[in-house]
Amino acid sequence: MPVVDLPDLQNVFVQSRPFTAGSYIYRAGAAADAYYFVRSGVVKTCQTNSRGDELVTGFHYPSELVGCSQMDGVYADSGVVLETATVCALPDNHQGELYKLSLNNAFLHLLAERETQTSLHQRNLSQTRADARLAGWLVQTGRRLQKLGWCQQRIPTPMSRTDLANYLGMTIESLSRVTGRFEAAGWINATRAHLEVLNPSAVAAAGAHMLL
Amino acid sequence: MPVVDLPDLQNVFVQSRPFTAGSYIYRAGAAADAYYFVRSGVVKTCQTNSRGDELVTGFHYPSELVGCSQMDGVYADSGVVLETATVCALPDNHQGELYKLSLNNAFLHLLAERETQTSLHQRNLSQTRADARLAGWLVQTGRRLQKLGWCQQRIPTPMSRTDLANYLGMTIESLSRVTGRFEAAGWINATRAHLEVLNPSAVAAAGAHMLL
DNA sequence: CGCAATATTGATTAGTATCAACAGAAGTGG
DNA sequence: CCACTTCTGTTGATACTAATCAATATTGCG
């Protein structure tokens, strides 16, 4: 599993011990005292509303930031580890650490890329067909993995089907049916741990709305 | 129309002349050379993919930032004025302007609140029923307006129905039917320029998923 | 006033949520 | 090592919602 570092900025980040699957990096509602840079592993961000419905807001790979969603000084979502992760904490101590980052702009660029990812997910969610949303997710996730130097045809799915369905705005039954249809068409090979794209052009066509 | 300023930071922002409705503050694909702080008016952010489908990614009121969505140094969306707006530009000249902002943290807090708004919109989009999405938007927009000291029952709609439907992930026909249903139930009064909430508790119940 | 753009209303179809039953994997304890 | 339980995911039948296609109405503007 590759490890990614933020160039020139490791020294202002605080390296943490590895987090094991299922553990929380930070919790919604707690005082927001740090941003976290994911170096390895996969992290999901999620929030629960007052009715108790969970919403999965994102899956985060190495080189990405989590803990950026804050309201009135408290985290608006939780960061949960899906696959053993190492992260760097950037303490938001209002005393100059952030300044060093901002100065060199790498931090702001990470935030800006995060925004872009989010708006792409918005675009995906605004698709009405479940097939289009799964295909769009495969396309977009493949691109993210490729940027990390991984295989873009082999999408790891450390998250549960429930989490993925929630993230894609559909029920688990619908997700199961869509993956079933894609498998029957020979487009993908779905296992618990991976979604392997066998016919990239067919998937790309079905997720064409994600090509900016 | 109230004007909002970013405390202690006006001096690093560059005040622009007012933008009239329909004009672009910045364009998707152009070199991202600034962030923009909305002081007055309403701004929509949108992007068009290679198929030509437009996606409205947000509506932005005073005190909010736009131009944050960047990828590889270019804007990933466009900022279009819906209602005459004045904005402050923060040139991203890599020479220390941003540093002043980050130092006092107000800028990062604006970005964090933006993230939170976005995740709330994600939650709204993940609702399957169109009624829930309109109600959720009314709830959330009301709260944003209230923070600005405006009336949270009277939601101005300077955007077209097409834009609003697009933003809410439904067709204009569906939006029209939902507003029609809400009006028939006596929950709202819909005109072209405003959506007035007559029965706040009913709307809040229908948009209960938005209560964090 | 008349044209063009935008919005509403209607009928039909397609897709997904829901409810329910079943299958498989993972973990537990004898 | 194997029954047993539990959790997760799959498959099936039905109802309901929203997209689509089409027509009409309204608004805005020259």
pLDDT digits (tens, 9 = 90+) for B5-50: 555 555 556 777 789 999 999 999 999 988 899 989 999 999 999 9
Q: Which comes out higher in pLDDT, residue B202 or A105?
A: B202
CB contact under 8 A, B126 and A99: no
Tens digits of residue pLDDT in B110-139 = 888 999 999 999 999 999 999 999 999 999
B6 Cα to chain A: minimum distance (Å): 16
- At residue B57's C-alpha, the angle toward residues A125 and A175, to 5°, is 5
Chain B CB contacts of A112 below 8 Å:
32, 68-71
Q: CA–C1' span, A171 to C16, in Å?
A: 9
Q: Mean per-residue pLDDT for A173-178? A: 96
Percent of chain A having pLDDT more than 70? 87
> What pLDDT does residue A108 have?
80
Enter the pTM of the model: 0.91
> What pLDDT does residue B109 have?
83
Q: Which comes out higher in pLDDT, residue B50 or B103?
A: B50
Q: Which of B32, B115, B212 sits opposite A68 (nearest CB)?
A: B115
> What pLDDT does residue A7 have?
52
A190 Cα to chain B: minimum distance (Å): 24
Alpha-carbon distances, residue B172 vs A101, B162, B169, B188 (angstroms): 44, 6, 10, 18
Whether A160 shows a pLDDT value over 50: the answer reads yes
Q: CA–C1' span, A78 to C17, in Å?
A: 28
> What pLDDT does residue A103 have?
47
B176 touches strand C (CB under 7 A): yes
Tens digits of residue pLDDT in A36-81 = 999 899 999 999 999 889 999 999 999 999 999 999 889 999 999 9
- At residue B149's C-alpha, the angle toward residues B143 and B152, to 5°, is 40
Are the CB atoms for A59 and A43 separated by under 8 Å? yes
Q: CA–C1' span, A53 to C30, in Å?
A: 39
Q: CA–C1' span, A158 to D2, in Å?
A: 30
> What pLDDT does residue B151 have?
92
Whether B193 shows a pLDDT value over 80: the answer reads yes
> What pLDDT does residue A9 have?
55
Q: Which comes out higher in pLDDT, residue A17 or A126?
A: A126
| SS3 at position A128 | coil
> What pLDDT does residue B16 have?
77
Q: Supply the DSSP string of A59-108, one letter for each residue.
A: EE-TT-EES--EETTEESSEEEEEEEEEEEEEE--SSSHHHHHHHHSHHH
Top residue of B12, B27, B33, B71 to mutate, by most chain A CBs within 10 Å, is: B71
Whether B55 shows a pLDDT value over 80: the answer reads yes
> What pLDDT does residue A100 have?
52
B161 touches strand C (CB under 7 A): yes
Element (H, E) at A134: helix A130-147
A62 Cα to chain B: minimum distance (Å): 17
Please name the nucleotide lying closest to A164, CA to C1'.
D9
| SS3 at position B182 | helix
Q: Mean per-residue pLDDT for B141-167? A: 95
Whether B159 shows a pLDDT value over 90: the answer reads yes
Are the CB atoms for A13 and A6 separated by under 8 Å? yes
> What pLDDT does residue B1 have?
42
CB contact under 8 A, A212 and B76: yes
> What pLDDT does residue B6 have?
52
Are the CB atoms for A129 and A182 separated by under 8 Å? no
> What pLDDT does residue A1 have?
42
> What pLDDT does residue B103 have?
47
pLDDT confidence bin for A88, thresholds 50/70/90: confident
φ, ψ (nearest 5 deg) of residue B164: -65, -45
Top residue of B120, B122, B124 to mutate, by most chain A CBs within 10 Å, is: B122
CB contact under 8 A, B96 and A77: no
Q: Which residue's CA lies closest to nucleotide C19 at its C1' atom? A: A173
Q: Which comes out higher in pLDDT, residue A9 or A143?
A: A143
Average pLDDT over chain A, rounded to an integer:
88
Q: Which of B47, B99, B105 sits opposite A103 (nearest CB)?
A: B99
Tens digits of residue pLDDT in A187-201 = 999 998 899 999 999
The runs of H, that is alpha helices, within chain B are: 97-104, 106-125, 130-147, 161-167, 172-184, 200-206
B180 touches strand C (CB under 7 A): yes
> What pLDDT does residue A97 have?
53
Do the strands A154-156 and A194-197 form a parallel or antiparallel pair, or are they unpaired? antiparallel
Whether A174 shows a pLDDT value over 60: the answer reads yes
Q: Which comes out higher in pLDDT, residue A126 or A103?
A: A126
Output residues with Cβ under 7 Å from nucleic strand D. A 128, 160-162, 172-173, 175-177, 179-180, 190, 192; B 128-131, 169-171, 173-174, 178, 192
φ, ψ (nearest 5 deg) of residue A91: -60, 130
